[in-house]
Amino acid sequence: MFIHKSVIHGIFQSYLNCSSIDITGLRDPRLHESTKISALYNLGRMYADQQKYQLAIETYNKAIQRAPSYYGLQSIYNMLGEAYMKSDDEAKAEFWYQEALRVKPDHLPAHITMAKLLSRRNQPDKAEKWYLKAMALDSTYKTAHQHYTQFLGESGRHADPVLIYKQVLETNSDDFEHVFNTANAMRQSGNYTEAEDFYQRAALLNPQVATAHMNLGAILHLNGKLEEAEKSYKEALRLKPNDAMTKDNLAKLQKLMQSQAARVAGRS
């Protein structure tokens, strides 16, 4: 989603202003002090989103220095670790991930970032243990499961994500993200027939999501159901008219359909 620079500047300014408010004499100084630290945390995240990692690191450190003893710092520690990771300083990244886990041993994001760090170090067995611990903590069955299945896919274990998503769907059968991710896992494992079924379900669960129709079109295209694929691509473009990938897929499909029609006409 595109956000105008002036809007971003306004948000930056709001966080800066909030982080420097004088709380002397306020009725609830603890609440306002926490709000100031949260403003610095959000400011640091905005710097990180803009790939200004040194500024993010400085802002997170400022938040840590200013935070009162009652403020839970695990999220700031973890995001500071992420900023160091993006700056290719793995040692400092690991230190701050461990700090996040020290102050809150069940902090889900820190389990995931530790797993990613170990995967990056080519220690897949250790990474997998952290992913499994993260999944045990994730009551939503979303964040940790998504990262873990991505890890499995990158490791070439395409059948395993399918089993995980099918287990999740036993209790979350109408969740769009779970159904859509199951379809993706099916496709990556080469099970195109079941992938088609799950993409159909995803498109029905959330018909306003262009990506659902685009992926349904792609699997129908792959399964040789060209007219149905064309309808799905067109629906995706109705929802998101300027999507280059869908336009390209539709053009290839229509070229194939014209070629097939010409061959049929030539035989008659």
* Average pLDDT of the residues of the chain: 89
Residue 172 has a pLDDT of 78
Please tell me which residue, 31 or 78, carries the higher pLDDT value.
Answer: 78
Please tell me which residue, 223 or 262, carries the higher pLDDT value.
Answer: 223
Name which of 62-76, 120-134, 160-174, 236-250 the model is least confident about.
Answer: 160-174
pLDDT over threshold 60, residue 12: no
Chain-centre distance of CA 4, in angstroms? 23
Question: Which of 2-11, 42-51, 163-172 is most confident?
Answer: 42-51
pLDDT over threshold 80, residue 130: yes
Please tell me which residue, 129 or 18, carries the higher pLDDT value.
Answer: 129
Instruction: Give all domains of the chain, ordered by start, each with its CATH number.
Output: 1-105 (1.25.40.10), 106-154 (no CATH), 158-267 (1.25.40.10)
pLDDT over threshold 60, residue 204: yes
pLDDT in tens, 15-74: 455 555 554 545 555 556 788 899 899 999 999 999 999 999 999 999 999 999 999 999
212-227 mean pLDDT: 98
227-253 mean pLDDT: 98
For residue 153, what pLDDT band results from cuts at 50, 70 and 90? Answer: confident
Under 8 Å between Cβ of 23 and 33: yes
Pick the closest to residue 65 from 106, 19, 105, 11 (CA basis): 19
Q: How many Å apart are CA 257 and CA 228, to the nearest integer?
A: 12
Concatenating the DSSP letter of every residue in the chain gives ----HHHHHHHHHHHHHHHT---TT-S-HHHHHHHHHHHHHHHHHHHHHTT-HHHHHHHHHHHHHH--TTS--HHHHHHHHHHHHHTT-HHHHHHHHHHHHHH-TT-HHHHHHHHHHHHHTT-HHHHHHHHHHHHHH-TTSSHHHHHHHHHHHHTT-THHHHHHHHHHHTT-TT-HHHHHHHHHHHHHTT-HHHHHHHHHHHHHH-TT-HHHHHHHHHHHHHTT-HHHHHHHHHHHHHHSTT-HHHHHHHHHHHHHHHHHHHHHHHH-
Residue 32 has a pLDDT of 62
pLDDT in tens, 83-97: 999 999 999 999 999
Residue 140 has a pLDDT of 80
